């Protein structure tokens, strides 16, 4: 299945059904009077968060969604039926924006959430509605209201508790494959990962979701490489695991490059808790490892972890640090949502 995390969609709710002009014509009934029914309401456009989806690929093949028109009113005071709704099914983590791409309409983070984006037009009144003491035989009815049309953007941001960042070929996919059952593409050339991936990590009796995104390079915020659009999938993460390749040129400069790209993207990524690790430590000699650790420590202003997903070095320590930060952030969020205590 292809991965698509952004789609532009045109929606239009259904028109309301027209009211009916009708009179009761029955044998031996001299003054039957008006009996035209009201029109039915037009169908709404509803967005629903469902289980079993992890991409917006369905909206690559269909971009227009329209609610059905309400049924027209009929004689004998029969009202028209409501038009069928148009339902857009999206995965958890989908955000809905106006056509400008900036005005947020909804953020669907839980399965079962629904939002009505465009309500169908009301049905028109039949001539029976206009009967008064002075107008006993009205010969007009209302047309139904028109539906609402608009263009929206659907943007998927994966829901993960921890995220991996780093240059291409820094060992992010290898780490994800080692600690979870995910099977990302792994090779010895840059930009092996072309789409974000998720994996469920188990450490003891604790589970959390880890996200892997394509690597960043210098100038990614200007469109170089694969760009920085995939950083949107890290906005929901509680903590970032920053991997720096020990076999690279200068670990400190590499760290500063990634931090600069995160700062250029914004969205509060630089303010998130960060765990720094020097990866592929089994592929360098002790002298190079010592030099790279010192460079990375000066740049990050903290002692980095030593990590090798292939050799299993430091994997448990890195996961333990992630779980510790995730639990702390969850406790802070729960405390902020709890109502104040009153005697």
Residue numbers belonging to the annotated binding site for GTP: 166-173, 191-195, 212-215, 279-282, 308-310
Q: Could you tell me which residues are annotated as the binding site?
A: 166-173, 191-195, 212-215, 279-282, 308-310
Q: How far apart are CA 224 and CA 313, in angstroms?
A: 33
Which of 120, 1, 8 lies closest to 63, judged by CA? Answer: 8
Token pair 């720096």: residue: 244
Q: Helix, strand or coil for residue 11?
A: strand
8 Å CB contact between 253 and 279: no
Give binding residues for Mg(2+) as ranges: 173, 193
d(CA 211, CA 238): 11
Task: Give the three-state DSSP class for 290.
Answer: helix
Place of tokens 């990614």: 220
Q: Name the CA dihedral angle for 106, 109, 112, 117, rounded to a multiple of 10 degrees.
A: 10
Q: What token pair was written down for 61?
A: 């093949």
Host H or E run for residue 258: helix 251-265
């Amino acid at each position: 299945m292809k991965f698509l995390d952004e789609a532009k969609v045109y929606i239009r709710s259904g028109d309301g059904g027209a009211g009916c002009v009708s009179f009761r014509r029955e044998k031996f009934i001299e003054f039957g009077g008006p009996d035209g029914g009201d029109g039915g309401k037009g169908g709404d456009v509803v967005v629903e968060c469902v289980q079993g989806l992890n991409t917006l690929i369905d909206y690559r093949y269909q971009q227009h969604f329209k609610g059905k028109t309400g049924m027209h009113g009929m004689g004998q005071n029969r009202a028209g039926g409501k038009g069928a709704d148009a339902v857009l099914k999206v995965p958890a983590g989908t955000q809905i924006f106006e056509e400008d791409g900036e005005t947020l309409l909804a953020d669907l983070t839980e399965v079962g959430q629904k939002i009505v984006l465009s309500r169908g037009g009301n049905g028109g009144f039949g001539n029976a509605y206009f009967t008064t003491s002075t107008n006993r035989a009205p010969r007009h009815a209302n047309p139904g209201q028109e539906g609402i049309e608009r263009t929206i953007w659907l943007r998927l941001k994966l829901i993960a508790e921890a995220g991996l960042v780093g240059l291409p070929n820094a060992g992010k996919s290898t780490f994800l494959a080692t600690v979870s059952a995910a099977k990302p593409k792994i090779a010895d050339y840059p930009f092996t990962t072309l789409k974000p991936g998720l994996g469920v990590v188990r450490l003891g009796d604790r589970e959390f979701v880890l996200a892997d995104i394509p690597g960043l390079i210098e100038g990614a915020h200007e469109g170089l490489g694969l760009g920085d659009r995939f950083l949107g999938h890290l906005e929901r993460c509680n903590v970032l695991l920053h991997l720096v390749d020990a076999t690279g040129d200068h670990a400190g400069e590499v760290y500063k490059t990634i931090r600069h790209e995160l700062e250029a993207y914004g969205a509060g990524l630089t303010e998130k808790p960060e765990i720094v690790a020097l990866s592929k430590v089994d592929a360098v000699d002790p002298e190079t490892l010592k030099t790279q650790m010192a460079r990375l420590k000066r740049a990050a202003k903290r002692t980095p972890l030593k990590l090798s997903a292939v050799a299993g070095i430091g994997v448990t320590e890195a996961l333990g640090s992630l779980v510790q930060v995730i639990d702390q952030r969850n406790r802070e969020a729960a405390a902020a949502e709890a109502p104040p205590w009153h005697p």
